[in-house]
Amino acid sequence: MSNAVTVTDADFESEVEKNEKLTVVDFWATWCGPCRMIAPILDQLAADYDGQVKVTKLDVDANIKTATKFNVRSIPMLLFFKGGKVVDQIVGAVPRQTIEAKFKQHVA
């Protein structure tokens, strides 16, 4: 069972943009190898930072409206939202330390 919450075009605003705490959105697709590489890292970080960070996943193929709104051109792309605004991003498959450093930077 994943610790990340699946979001869609329909609930993106309520799940992400109206959430005051740090929310990370993983823009991904089923056919994307690098996306599958970082999925277990994000799942573990979601468990480690439970209560501090909300980790969400958005399938870009099924939710084109939101992917277009945030100009997602390469996946995986992680967007970090705080108070409904994008405060940081990571593009591509990166090591756990890189992702966790961003979590720590924005949780404080």
The token pair at 31 is 């056919």
Query: Which residue range is the domain that position 101 belongs to?
Result: 5-107
Told to judge if 33 belongs to the known catalytic residues of this protein, a careful annotator would answer no
| 79-102 residue pLDDT tens | 999 999 999 999 999 999 999 999
**pTM, rounded to two decimals:** 0.96
Told to judge if 32 belongs to the known catalytic residues of this protein, a careful annotator would answer yes
Angle, alpha carbons 34-9-23 (nearest 5°) = 65
Q: Check if the beta carbon of residue 42 is closer than 8 Å to that of residue 100.
A: no
- Rounded Cα distance between 2 and 53, Å, is 15
Q: Check if the beta carbon of residue 45 is closer than 8 Å to that of residue 55.
A: yes
The catalytically annotated residue of 32, 53, 55, 75 is: 32
- Rounded Cα distance between 88 and 40, Å, is 21
The catalytically annotated residue of 16, 22, 35, 99 is: 35
Residue 1: predicted pLDDT: 56
In the chain, how many domains are there? 1
| 41-70 residue pLDDT tens | 999 999 999 999 999 999 999 999 999 999
Q: How confident is the model at residue 2 (pLDDT cuts 50, 70, 90)?
A: confident
Residue 89: predicted pLDDT: 98
Q: What percentage of the chain has pLDDT greater than the value 90? A: 95
Q: Check if the beta carbon of residue 15 is closer than 8 Å to that of residue 5.
A: yes
Q: Which of 2, 92, 1, 108 is nearest to 55 (CA)?
A: 2
CATH of the domain at 57: 3.40.30.10
